[in-house]
Chain A
Amino acid sequence: MILPERIKPALLPLAALLIFEIWMRLADVQSDSLAPPSAIALALAGALTDGSLLAATRDTLAAAFAGLALGGAIGLVLGIALGLSHVFDRLMEVTIEAIRPIPSVALLPIALIALGFGYRMEIAIVSFACVWPVLIMTRAAVGGIEPRLIEVARVLRLSQLDRVRKIVIPAALPRIFLAFRLAAGIALIVAVTVEIAINPLGLGAGIMTAQQALRPDLMLAYLVWIGVTGFALNAALMAAQKTLFGRAAAIGDQA
């Protein structure tokens, strides 16, 4: 039997799932942490139909995107400024390197006191985590712009604002978008982490509730769903990157 090429990569995971299912049933495993794939699928379908999973997804994505927008904007502006000005870059170097290594989740206690439970605290933590990848990659993208383009801007006598608007940002845009794509992944991870740790909303809270209710099937269904959400988010952003910057990305690769 000849299998289409596209199916081949799926064979191994499918076989693993099947073996796991058979083993769970034959051995009659009773567990608070494991459930047979069929039970997980049923729990997933149930949570999808009663709307609880979609509501949790909406909450998590809202916090993640709001944090990404806020942190990304801060990172973008700072990254452009640092990439353009060596003086500013040197001035900020110690400050940035001192703050950047702080794990965003370590800010939870402070954020909780300052902002309480809810979206605001979660958004603050997510945005802190998103500032850095965008800042560092934007700084590198702006600093790495073809020097000849800057000279062209000078001999054409572009104003400082036009230089940034018409040369710097378009030239750095493919890499800035890449930074946002990576930051989006981080935003989702951090949002779910905050929810698991403390914040009573979204997918992370859902997974914790299922665990405490001794529902391993539902807990794992949430886990699978978080994976699907992350995958879909990245795929959507990849597709957007390809349509928006197909040409520019190809040029960026050459350089």
Chain B
Amino acid sequence: MAEPALALVQSSPSPARAQIAFDNVALMLGGKAIINTISLDVAAGEILCVVGASGCGKTTALRLAAGLYQPTGGSVRFEGEAMRAPRREIAVVFQDYGKALLPWRTAAGNISLALETIGMPSAQREARITELLAKVGLAGHAAKYPTEMSGGMQQRLQIARCLAQDPKVLLMDEPFGALDAMTRQGLQDEMLALVASTGATVVFVTHDLEEAIYLGDRVIGLLPHPGRVGLELKIDLPRPRDQLATREHPEFLRLRRALFDFIKASE
């Protein structure tokens, strides 16, 4: 077993810099290759967006990064350590907020779940919950149940629950995919502001190519059957991003064309 470990260290280009490292990661499920292979480094504080045609393994890659799946080949590492299970430093925002929230708990109760799990004493929880709700723009909604909230509010609540565990990394699986365009743009900007203030690393899976460019420092395009990296785009657009100015920027339009061409060719 010592030999492959050595090989992994050698093949890793910059282990010191990478917070999350995919090293020749492959995943077989039921005899079928879902991913074969992905090598990828995500730097601390980076916003990496992942796009690709359906069936390219975007969500699967995110689950590997979360420690929900174990690779059948290669390794996934967090700060140099192999991911064996989910970690406190890594939070996951699911697309289907309606299913990811506990319907029998209020907004405050849902956030409390994360605080209870990290072992925060109950006396400190309430203040922290108020703070987190305010952070995602849900101040005053603590006593509401998820079903009493709009989709945008529910997704904000899920993000607040993720922030409750003080994560270094946010893994987001098409978090705004089910929301209407206006709500989505608002949440994109709120998320960028939140991430800027916490310095968290973000891996953001989306099928919205413009969203990927708008949010990301880097965009990875995956190819399907089996999932593998087909394109990497560095996004050199000024921050803070602006819904109008950024999207009209010539560089944005150039990247948009490149990404659309890639997706079209991959299908």
Chain B residues proximal to chain A, CB less than 8 Å: 66-68, 85-88, 90-92, 94, 96, 99-100, 102-105, 113-114, 116-117, 145, 147, 165
Q: Decide: B117 and A156 in contact? CB cutoff 8 A.
A: yes
Q: Decide: B86 and A157 in contact? CB cutoff 8 A.
A: yes
Chain B residues with CB below 8 A from A166, complex form: 102, 113, 116
CA distance A171 to B105 in the complex (A): 11
How far is the CB of A20 from the nearest CB of chain B, in Å? Answer: 50
CA distance A146 to B68 in the complex (A): 16
Chain A residues with CB below 8 A from B165, complex form: 156
A157-B117, A158-B117 known; A151+B96 contact, CB < 8 A: no
Q: Decide: B99 and A148 in contact? CB cutoff 8 A.
A: yes
A157-B117, A166-B113 known; A152+B94 contact, CB < 8 A: yes
A154-B86, A251-B147 known; A149+B117 contact, CB < 8 A: no
Q: Decide: B68 and A151 in contact? CB cutoff 8 A.
A: yes
Q: Decide: B99 and A149 in contact? CB cutoff 8 A.
A: yes
The count of chain A contact residues (Cβ–Cβ below 8 Å) is: 19
Quick check: is A170 within 8 A (CB to CB) of the other chain? yes
Quick check: is A247 within 8 A (CB to CB) of the other chain? yes
How far is the CB of A251 from the nearest CB of chain B, in Å? Answer: 5
CA distance A49 to B104 in the complex (A): 46
Chain A residues proximal to chain B, CB less than 8 Å: 146, 148-149, 151-152, 154-158, 162, 166-167, 170-171, 173, 247-248, 251
A148-B94, A170-B102 known; A247+B145 contact, CB < 8 A: yes
Q: Decide: B68 and A154 in contact? CB cutoff 8 A.
A: yes
Q: Decide: B86 and A148 in contact? CB cutoff 8 A.
A: no
CA distance A154 to B67 in the complex (A): 9
CA distance A154 to B117 in the complex (A): 11
Q: Decide: A149 and B102 in contact? CB cutoff 8 A.
A: yes
B104 in complex: contacting residue of A152, A156, A247, CB < 8 Å: A247
Q: Which 7 A-B pairs have the closest CB atoms?
A: A148-B99, A155-B92, A251-B103, A155-B86, A170-B104, A156-B117, A146-B99
Chain A residues with CB below 8 A from B96, complex form: 148
Chain A residues with CB below 8 A from B117, complex form: 156-158, 162
Residue of A nearest to B92 (CB): A155
How far is the CB of B148 from the nearest CB of chain A, in Å? Answer: 10
How far is the CB of B226 from the nearest CB of chain A, in Å? Answer: 23
Q: Decide: B100 and A248 in contact? CB cutoff 8 A.
A: no
Q: Decide: A156 and B113 in contact? CB cutoff 8 A.
A: yes
CA distance A156 to B164 in the complex (A): 10
Residue of A nearest to B103 (CB): A251
How far is the CB of A162 from the nearest CB of chain B, in Å? Answer: 7
CA distance A96 to B43 in the complex (A): 54
Residue of B nearest to A154 (CB): B86
CA distance A158 to B68 in the complex (A): 14
B88 in complex: contacting residue of A151, A157, A248, CB < 8 Å: A157
Q: Decide: B113 and A248 in contact? CB cutoff 8 A.
A: no
CA distance A251 to B68 in the complex (A): 27
How far is the CB of A247 from the nearest CB of chain B, in Å? Answer: 7
A248 in complex: contacting residue of B66, B99, B103, B114, CB < 8 Å: B103
**Known contacts A155-B68, A155-B86, then 8 further A-B pairs from the complex at CB < 8 Å, ordered by chain A residue:** A148-B94, A151-B94, A154-B68, A156-B86, A156-B165, A170-B105, A248-B103, A251-B104
